[in-house]
Structure 1
């Protein structure tokens, strides 16, 4: 978690993929690249405001064979990707993502807030959690 703490406080920037600014996908992208040495697709042509295109890109990436969807009884670990929904209603699609910084702790970037840590069990976060994914290269190192 100490390594990931260095990514707290990065300003929010749509399509951002650097310490100057990140959107919600840019933050895990930057961490995977710099900390884990794993290159994820950039997707910098998709605005995070285009939730349909963003959701499709995330679905395509997590179904690429490079990720494993965690079972409900598995505890998310650092570097697991978190897909989230806007509101906890039936049929809602994932439109937001973050990365597990430590068991029970989410690091994500939001417009107007930037990158920050939050507890996965918080009442405003827990109902929005949709799925967790583990990159197979990270899993092989554990």
Structure 2
């Protein structure tokens, strides 16, 4: 079975960080920890609810603005890269690349699933793709 199969159908829970329920960042955090041994901070202290869009956007922007994240050129993404999306005009959603063009993600009202991020729904919202330094080939 493909690694992503073990993450399908996990329920959305705001600020969730485990298999009982998670938000989009919680899913990214869980996958990178379990599949690649990459520990990410919890960020649960960064915002109290999903309605705090400015706080969520700041937390997610903070991740992308600093190491250990490296921007990846579109078209050269790989499994376990992180795709960041705009919602309500702010960077509010993350997905994890399963293969180029497909992401695993979870959102309010929907269990975790795989969707095409190059399709009509997500392509116009795609802000950037990032790779964690632990997943970059050594130079």
User: So what's the TM-score if we normalise by structure 2?
Assistant: 0.90
Corresponding residue number in structure 2 for 1:133 = 130
User: Cα deviation per residue 1:22-58 (whole Å; 9 max; x = unaligned)?
Assistant: 1011000000111111111101132333121111111
Matched, 1:68 2:70: yes
Please give the alpha-carbon distance, in whole angstroms, between the structure 2 residues aligned to 1:86 and 1:13. Answer: 18
Corresponding residue number in structure 1 for 2:100 = 103
1:55 corresponds to which of 54, 57, 60? 57
Matched, 1:13 2:10: no
Corresponding residue number in structure 2 for 1:77 = 78
Please give the alpha-carbon distance, in whole angstroms, between the structure 2 residues aligned to 1:56 and 1:16. Answer: 18
Please give the alpha-carbon distance, in whole angstroms, between the structure 2 residues aligned to 1:12 and 1:140. Answer: 33
Alpha-carbon shift at residue 71 of structure 1 (Å): 2.6
Please give the alpha-carbon distance, in whole angstroms, between the structure 2 residues aligned to 1:132 and 1:49. Answer: 24
Please give the alpha-carbon distance, in whole angstroms, between the structure 2 residues aligned to 1:56 and 1:39. Answer: 20
User: How many pairs are equivalent?
Assistant: 136
Q: Name the Cα RMSD after superposition.
A: 1.6
Secondary structure of 1:44 counterpart: coil
Unaligned runs of 5+ in 1: none
Please give the alpha-carbon distance, in whole angstroms, between the structure 2 residues aligned to 1:76 and 1:51. Answer: 27
Secondary structure of 1:25 counterpart: helix
Matched, 1:29 2:4: no
Unaligned runs of 5+ in 2: none
Secondary structure of 2:56 counterpart: helix
Please give the alpha-carbon distance, in whole angstroms, between the structure 2 residues aligned to 1:65 and 1:125. Answer: 25
User: So what's the TM-score if we normalise by structure 1?
Assistant: 0.88
